[in-house]
Structure 1
Amino acid sequence: MGIVHRLSTVVPYFQPKVDAAGRSGVSPLQKCTAAIRQLAYGGEADTVDEYVRLGETTARKCLHQFTAAIINLYGDQYLRRPTPEDLQRLLYYGEERGFPGMVGSIDCMHWEWKNCPSSWKGMYSRGTDKPTLVLEAVASHDLWIWHAFF
Structure 2
Amino acid sequence: MSHNENSSSSNEYSEWEAWVVQNNRQLDEIITKLLIEDHPPRARRRYCDQERKQGEACLVEDYLVDNPTYDQATFRRRFCMQRPLFFRIVTGVTANDLYFQQRHDTTGRQSLSPLHKCTTAMRVLAYGTSADAQDEYTRRSEIVTKDALIKFIEGVISCFGKKYLRRPNEADLARLLHVREERGFSGMMGSIDCMHWTWKNCPTAWAGQYAGRSGKPTIILAAVASYDLWICHAFFGTPGTCNDINILHLKERKTI
Measured after TM superposition, the shift of residue 105 of structure 1 is 1.9
Q: Structure 1 residue 95: deviation in Å?
A: 2.1
Counterpart CA distance in 1 for 2:168 and 2:138 is 37
CA contact (8 A) 2:96 2:155 kept: no
- Report the CA distance shift for 1:61/1:86 in structure 2 as closer, same or farther (over 3 A): same
Letter in 2 for 1:116: K
Residue 216 (structure 2) pairs with residue 130 (structure 1): yes
Q: Which runs of 4+ in 1 moved over 6 A?
A: none
Quick check: 127-136 or 4-13, which moved more?
127-136
Structure 1 residues without counterparts, runs of 5 or longer: none
Alignment of 1:116 onto 2:200: yes
Please, what TM-score do these two structures have when normalized by structure 1? Answer: 0.86
Paired residue for 2:100?
Answer: 14
Unpaired runs of at least 5, structure 2? 1-86, 237-256
The counterpart of 1:53, out of the listed 132, 135, 139, is: 139
Mapped contact 1:35–1:59 kept (Cα < 8 A): yes
The answer as to 2:119 corresponding to 1:39 is no
**Cα separation, 2, equivalents of 1:108 and 1:118:** 20
Which of these residues, 141, 148, 152, is aligned with residue 66 of structure 1?
A: 152
Deviations 1:79-122 (A, max 9, x none): 111111111111212222232222122112323x2x61153572
Answer with 1 or 2: which has the greater Rg.
2
TM-score, scaled relative to structure 2: 0.53
Q: Which region of structure 1 is more displaced relative to structure 2, 138-147 or 33-42? A: 138-147
Alignment match of 1:92 (pick from 178, 187, 205): 178
User: How many residues are treated as equivalent by the alignment?
Assistant: 148
Specify which of 101, 104, 110 is matched with residue 187 of structure 2: 101
Structure with larger RCO (C-alpha < 8 A, sep 6+): 1
Paired AA for residue 156 in structure 2: I
Structure 1 residues 136 and 118, CA gap change in structure 2 (3 angstroms)? closer
The alpha carbon displacement at 1:145 in A equals 1.1
Q: Which residue identity lines up with residue 3 of structure 1 in the other structure?
A: I
> In structure 2, how many angstroms separate the alpha carbons of the residues matched to 1:91 and 1:42?
32
- Higher share in strand: 1
Q: Secondary structure at the match of 1:135?
A: strand
**Other-structure match for 2:166:** 80
CA RMSD of aligned residues (A): 2.0
Alpha-carbon offset, residue 11 of structure 1:
0.6
